[in-house]
Amino acid sequence: MFPVHRPRRLRKDDTIRRMVRETSLSPADFIYPLFVAEKKKGYREEISSMPGCYQESVDRAVKHAKEVHSLGIPAVLLFGIPKHKDAEGSSAWDPKGAVQQAIKGIKDAVPELYVITDVCMCEYTDHGHCGVIEGGQVLNDPTLELLSKEALSHARAGADMVAPSDMMDGRIEIIRDTLDEEGFTELPIMSYAVKYASAFFGPFREAAESTPQFGDRRSYQMDPANRREALKEVALDVEEGADIVMVKPALSYLDIISDVKNEFDLPVAAYNVSGEYSMVKAAGKMGWIDEEKVMMEILTSIKRAGADIILTYHAKEAAKLLGA
């Protein structure tokens, strides 16, 4: 009781605060997303709703990957923007596609950098949905074959890990089976196991050119109101062979990250998504917040909630601060 117990004793100065700090961030915690476009060499265009992020041609993405590696960030996540889109998203498994070429280019230029690929159809379909459409509905089982073809094409190009983000039921199992049958038994899968139908994805739609041409994604992405369902989704993906599970988005779902971390004994990733990033950037630009401090507070909160890995567009800025 007071005055014996004085918690402020351990807050007196920065040295003691650092000594007793329970949660710490490192550049090694981060994965940095890259948007690779099928464009001519030298192409680079800033995404208007995501300041500091770009659509880039393969050569520019390779150069960018070198910068990421130089900051101590261990991995990148690749999204592709193809020239050609069709109903089934056939560019997704094109061996000459932007992602497949970027994998090869990055692994040649920076072999130590871990290359992860997003596996989904939405960037490649002309309707913007994550699977095969029939009668205005996204069909689950026919989509699985396409996802497995995309994942296999990434594996053949040299990806270190694949990350299915589509939220089709059973996709981890079919991708695992396909990879194993083709000799990629050592290639891990990071599952977007808990992906909510979130309004925070808005700026990403511009970045990946993946806005649905009709309807929305609520028939396959999770209801933001549901908590227990997240554990069911993770359990299914773990049973099917996922090596890492992800919660997306992160900031509004810290409780879910904590639940998953407490329930499952495998690495947990969390995606600090585009809308979360853009809000910080916009408020910082207006002078309403201290952008750097808010950024670091958000990333710390995601780590504190239980994330072992944080996918974030802030990765480079945060790494520079952490390395200062």
- Active-site residues, by number, are 195, 248
Q: Residues 251, 272: contact at Cβ < 8 Å?
A: yes
Assigned token pair, 309: 């890995």
Assigned token pair, 216: 């929305």
